[in-house]
Amino acid sequence: MSARKIEDRLVIASHNPGKLWELRQLLGPHGVDAVSAGELGLPEPEETETTFRGNALLKAKAASTASNLPAFADDSGLCVEALDGAPGVYSARWGGEHRDFCAAIARVERELKERGAEPPYRAYFICALAIVWPDGHVEEFEGRVDGALIFPPRGTKGFGYDPIFLPDGLDKTFGEMMSAEKHALPGDGSIALSHRARAFQALASACLNLRQT
């Protein structure tokens, strides 16, 4: 069965202005008006699930129920193989209350050492997306990018764990790439680079009407 299309209005279940900006860039050309949960005064639910998919679904469901509109949410993070997938869904929380990612990166390095892990430190970023409609219909997508962690961190662009993540096949960390390079959504149908762009690419081809402006 084909996926349900997003029509003219969508609530973004995020209070993060950066995410809203990125999504407006993606959805605008398809005639979709994205309004944020923050702009509608909706509360931010606690991310209590243990999977990326579970948290994305929880946030989208809460926003759809509260607004009676289709709602979109994402959840993402870094999984390190030698740390049994940590920090995973706790990626943001490893930055502490002040979202200090120097401290989070130092913790990743310390835990790898404590476990006696040897490079290459295999890792991947993952992004789960969920759209929930008021009648309960759900569409879900996932994007993943594999690579290795390097220390010391390289680059000052990006955010979070970008400076230690070297995507497979490239010699620059995400922290050394401009946003356009990291998230590049190729127009020729080839695969995007970042986990988020890959998940969006899957969403766009399934749920957006290919209206060109």
Residues recognised as catalytic: 75
Do residues 128 and 74 touch, judged by C-beta distance below 8 A?
A: yes
Alpha carbon distances (Å) from 83 to 53, 59, 72, 102:
20, 27, 30, 18
Site for ligand IMP contains 160 (CB under 6 A): yes
**Which tokens sit at 45?**
């639910």
Per-residue mark of binding to ligand IMP, 44-83 (x: CB under 6 A): ------------------------------xxxxx-----
**What is the C-alpha separation between 57 and 47, in angstroms, rounded?**
10
**What is the C-alpha separation between 181 and 156, in angstroms, rounded?**
14
Site for ligand IMP contains 162 (CB under 6 A): yes
CB-nearer residue toward ligand IMP: 142 or 162: 162
Pairing of the two strands 33-36 and 9-12 = parallel
From the list 145, 146, 139, 144, the residue with the least C-alpha distance to 203 is: 139
Of residues 100-159, those binding ligand IMP (CB under 6 A)? 125, 158-159
CB-nearer residue toward ligand IMP: 82 or 213: 82
CB-nearer residue toward ligand IMP: 63 or 78: 78
Per-residue mark of binding to ligand IMP, 169-208 (x: CB under 6 A): -----x-------------------x--------------
Residue nearest to ligand IMP (CB): 160
Do residues 171 and 153 touch, judged by C-beta distance below 8 A?
A: no
**Residues contributing to the site for ligand IMP (CB under 6 A):** 74-78, 91-92, 95, 125, 158-162, 174, 194
